[in-house]
Structure 1
Amino acid sequence: MTPERLAQLRALRHALHQIPEVSGAEEKTAAMVADYLRHFEPDQLLTGLGGHGVAAVFDGISDGPTVLIRCELDGLPIEELSDQPYRSTHQGRGHLCGHDGHMTMVAALAEDLAEQRPARGRVVLLFQPAEETGKGAAAMIADPAFAQIAPDYAFSLHNLPGLPVGQVALCSGAANCASRGMRIKLAGKTSHAAAPQDGVSPAGAIAQLLPGLADLGSGAELGPEFALVTLTHARLGEAAFGIAPGYGEVWATLRTVTDARMEQLIAAATAHVEQACAAEGLTFSIEFDDVFDACTNHPEAVAVLRAAAAAAGCPAQMQDVPQRWSEDFGQFGKQAKAAMFWLGSGTDQPQLHNPDYDFTDAAIPAGAGILLQAVRNLLG
């Protein structure tokens, strides 16, 4: 990649970085991406997919498979701490997971594909909304227009702090954990604080649930039986001294390597809630949000990425365990032979979702190069 082209891509990344939009609200980001892609005259440009999703299609010379390259549009509801000239201009929001970098690397392929179409098949550059909430991939797939671009292969990447810039890690099999947010609502009856015996307080149930849920999944080796329950929020009654509480909530994130183990963990957590509420005379309801299925790499897609990384001068380090964090890219794995790789963004890089995180521009050539090489290996 020439210095001039890298400078252009860096400018795109910085422009995207300045306008982070949270899941489901990526209107300006999608418009900027679509405007950039139009310069390279894709054979088809779809917008509004599953919300604000964008897809640029580059047809090959002859028939063949469809290869989808996916990245994410959304930022995070976190205030960015930075003195960079391109820091976020949207208060309380920031690109603190590197999605601006992912978009830039995928957008870089548009120029290469415009200059030389694939020998066969077609390439779909897909910019997905709402990854952070786990809703975007499913919404795109459910969009009737997605049938036009249904892939045979799907690839993506995620930058990885702690790994040297440009180095590649790749898993065969489980790549990212399943997770979901569990919101437990406990209903009793309020009373005067001077007569708590005349009410039904959730306090006792919450006192049981906090340690009990955590004990269901304390985290261990990242194998098929791995389970982790992270307590994230609890509420008891109102902020008042004169009222014995009648309502409470407990929020927890459930995390497993496999979808089957997730179903077991949900059943165990639900049974624990039922037992605690029955003992305290409470009614309850359970809601789930931020639902991510497990992300599993297909062996054939892994082989494509491994060969592409080697050809691009970034040999992949094969890993036996997945990442603990979740990714809704797994939804595309239900539609196609799919795989995700991890691209090093620096050993001294702040962790993803830290307020001082910033994507490393030096990783752009490696990421774009590997994705392009995967396309060329499959389609010529």
Structure 2
Amino acid sequence: MNHLIQLRHTLHQFPEIALEEGKTARRILDFFAPLGADRTIKGLGGTGLAFVFRGKKPGKRLLFRCELDALPIEDLKPSDHQSQIPGKGHLCGHDGHMAIVCGLGETLSKSRPESGEVVLLFQPAEETGDGAKAILDDPRFAEIRPDAAFALHNLPGYPLHQIVMRAGTFAAGSTGMTVSLTGKTSHSAHPEAGINPAQALANLIQRLPRLPQDLPGYALLTLIHAELGSLAFGTSAGKAGLSMTLRAFDQAELERLIALVKREAKIEAEKAGLKLDFHFVESFAVSKNDPDLYPMVEQAANNLGLSVVEKPDPFRWSEDFGLFSQICPAFLFGLGAGENCPQLHEGAYDFPDELIGTGVGVFEELSELILSKD
């Protein structure tokens, strides 16, 4: 694993954030150059890459996906591979995920599957929720559309190498949403001459976080930012904005929560005579694991003697692999990064190198188990 560890360390030193992953993609291309993939697709969904390894006979097509992007967060852990890019760091482990899929590529280059084919996908912009959609919207994706898709994510807080699994919803769907209220400014000595959205904003701040109580399943609305007018003491505000993150374990309930926010905002806007607008960012679909793939992942872990744990509830965070679960059977599982490992998105986080071999092994087993049955 030494060369894969070195690859991860290089990726860690030179992180690139969402939609800027050009140099990272070139490093991956250089790694795959001697591996003789049967097809290479460049610039997929922007900076994405796909490498196709074909078996000896026709059969199913499997896709194994990892992420190219880092985070706009300072890497605070001193090491010989600490980030050299100020304000940016691989603090979610995507460098490790890439090394794992590169290791799978090496295996496939030496031993093609008996049947079918394997697609290794390096996806941009996972952190913003833009990457999976860009991949799926690229016309060339239709040529590699899989029969099943797999991904893993390292999980601090779980024992090192433990496989964390769940059928059905694995991670919540979520979206960032901003409600914009526009009235009319006036002199602060004559507020009656304008339309100030302050009361409407205050009412929404009070009411919106309670909306998830009206839904039968798990849902959460978290207010993250509020803005009213500007710091001009002679002016009565004419604009306001309220931003929030909405999340749910069921896609239909997430859509219902969005509709409830829109309804409440419309009531307040009409009552105060305000113009109303909505803006959405960082939208992630619910990640749903196909129950028929569960025993395959479980068997792959058991074949390697790995500990397997069933998570009773989905994770509250989101992962844009969820979009793949809308177009084919898909399975996202966790790989324990150690109980004392710093949490994801923390400045002190660093992907454990020991996990590279484990991740490669699980993906190898899955490929063998599924494609050997064709």
Quickly name the TM-score band, shorter chain normalised.
Answer: over 0.9
In 1, the alpha carbon distance for the partners of 2:23 and 2:57 equals 35
Q: Secondary structure at the match of 1:111?
A: helix
Cα distance between partner residues in 1 of 2:277 and 2:73: 29
Aligned to 1:355: 347
Counterpart pick for 1:227 among 219, 227, 245: 219
State the distance in 2 between where 1:83 and 1:197 align: 58
Offset, 1:144: 1.2
What is the SS of the residue equivalent to 2:354? helix
Identity %: 44
Give the structure 1 partner of residue 158 of structure 2.
Answer: 163
Root mean square deviation, CA, Å: 1.5
2:276 pairs, out of 284, 288, 291, with 284
- The residue type paired with residue 101 of structure 1 is G
Contact between 1:158 and 1:343, CA under 8 Å: does it hold in 2? yes
Query: In the alignment, which residue of structure 2 is the partner of 1:75?
Result: 70
CA displacement, residues 133-156 of structure 1 (integer Å, 9 cap, x when unaligned): 112112111111112211111100
The alpha carbon displacement at 1:232 in A equals 0.9
Deviation at 1:224, TM superposition (A): 6.3
- Number of residue pairs the alignment of both structures matches: 372
Residue 335 (structure 1) aligned with residue 330 (structure 2): no
Q: Distance in 1 between matches of 2:184 and 2:17?
A: 37
Moved more, 272-281 or 250-259: 272-281
One-letter code aligned to 2:137: A
Name the CA distance, whole Å, in 2 between partners of 1:272 and 1:198.
26
- Partner SS, residue 102 of structure 1: helix
Residue-by-residue CA offset, 1:267-287 (whole Å, 9 max, x unaligned): 111111112222222111011
Where has structure 1 moved over 4 Å in runs of 4 or more?
none
Which residue of the partner structure matches residue 259 of structure 2? 267
User: Aligned to 1:158, what secondary structure does the other structure show?
Assistant: strand
How many Å separate the matches in 1 of 2:87 and 2:234? Answer: 35
TM-score using structure 2 length: 0.96
Worse overlay, 79-88 or 59-68: 79-88
Among 41, 45, 53, the alignment partner of 1:50 is 45
Decide whether the 8 Å contact of 2:156 with 2:336 is kept in 1: yes
Alpha-carbon contact 2:288-2:325 (below 8 Å) kept:
yes
Q: Map of 1:1-380 to 2, 5 A cutoff?
A: 6-217=1-212, 225-380=217-372
| SS class of match (1:217) | helix
Equivalent residue number for residue 3 of structure 1: none
SS at match of 2:121: strand
Cα distance change of structure 1 residues 172 and 224 upon mapping to structure 2, 3 Å threshold: farther
Cα distance, 1:232–1:301 mapped onto 2, change above 3 Å = same
Assess if the C-alpha contact under 8 Å between 2:286 and 2:322 holds in 1.
yes
SS class of match (2:296): helix
Cα shift at 1:319 = 2.0
CA distance in 2, matches of 1:237, 1:348: 45
Point out where structure 1 has 5 or more consecutive residues left out of the alignment. Answer: 1-5
- Secondary structure at the aligned position of 1:105 is classed as helix
Task: Tell me if structure 1 keeps the 8 A contact 2:161–2:307.
Answer: no
More displaced 10-residue stretch of structure 1: 254-263 or 191-200: 191-200
Give secondary structure in 2 for the equivalent of 1:357. coil
Contact 2:287–2:322, Cα closer than 8 Å, also in 1: yes
The CA distance in 1 between the partners of 2:78 and 2:206, in whole Å, is 41
Q: Is contact 1:306-1:315 (8 Å) kept? A: no
CA distance in 2, matches of 1:262, 1:71: 26
What amino acid sits opposite 1:296 in the alignment? K
**TM-score, structure 1 normalization:** 0.95
Following superposition, the deviation at residue 176 of structure 1 comes to 1.0
